[in-house]
Structure 1
């Protein structure tokens, strides 16, 4: 089905578009990076250090901790009255409610998974043994 004349033509047109848009995208990228427009197309990129600064997570955390010490809060967040605190394991807040974004189906699935590991009372899970009875033949009334 992909070898029809129409699909071949479309594939050819898409290849032409790809080439044309690629040139435009390259020009836009060079403009954003600040590379000279008049320079030849095959110029090498400048050093990455000139364009962007690279930092690791450790230095970012250290800077954030230094800013917190300057403020004097020492990483304590402001407590808002009436804020809900959710337990990560049970997904419920301090009042026993699930989050508003959680769908009913997801809540029921979560409840089922939580009770699965617990010991449920034996009256609900144990089957009662059947009583053995003698078969009694039906007797017809005698006249």
Structure 2
């Protein structure tokens, strides 16, 4: 579907507003911190500015903590667990797509459904 001129114009105007009001908001926040910073220590704690090294250290600390999971291990190629089930985050369309990619790559052989040539299974 084509993008209309009206939509483009509104998008452009929103961006202009964002820049304009962003500057005003930043100035307002700075004045709030300066005026109330001497009185309340709580505001300083809320608006603490962190350096780049502090942020990197914090991110490393978070990455070291491992996420808890159900304990199931999934095969790296087929993505199935010990019971032969796919992970919960995979929907049916993703499973179908994954199976076709495995067949094309030749990593996993496909199982034939139905009867054989002579009518016997």
TM-score relative to the length of structure 1: 0.37
More helix by share: 2
